[in-house]
Amino acid sequence: MSASITPDDLAHEIELVWLEDIQDLDYVRQSLDRLPTRGRKPAYYRNGRMVGYAILGSTAKGSPASGTFLRRVFWLAPHDRDQQPQGFYSTGAPVEAVDPRTLAPRAPGRKTERSEGGPPSPAMVELGITLDKA
């Protein structure tokens, strides 16, 4: 798992598959996992639920040592904001969390005011940009 994902890590992504409607999620956790395939839905082993995953193109090469592929998996823990809105992450977000609306194949995603559970930044207000919670 990696908290700092770079575009180089994602060079072979061709598609992101979502298992849930991400429009209702303020953030998702993203991690790079070593997986045995380029494209099938991976097995999920974390506490919580998988909400999406990346599919790699045929140019992606497996690790010489293990034959596995480095792929992104998107997930939420049981104590995340979507399940416990007033809980630990009512504001702020885990280090590996990003706003799902900023994700695309080969794009690492980023935190936004929405993903952090806070109000829009002064620059956003000045520009008239709003982030609806719904």
Q: What is the pLDDT of residue 92?
A: 84
Residue 133 has pLDDT above 70, yes or no: no
Task: Please tell me the predicted confidence (pLDDT) of residue 115.
Answer: 80
Model pLDDT, residue 59:
94
Sequence-distant (6+) residues with CB within 8 A of 126 are none
pTM: 0.83
102 conformational bin, left if phi > 0, alpha if psi -120 to 50, beta if neither: alpha
Q: How far apart are CA 25 and CA 109, in angstroms?
A: 14
Q: pLDDT tens digits, residue range 83-127? A: 999 998 888 889 899 999 999 999 988 888 778 776 666 655 666
Residue 88 CA to its chain's centroid (Å): 19
**How confident is the model over 46-86, as pLDDT tens digits?**
999 999 999 999 999 999 999 999 999 999 999 999 999 99
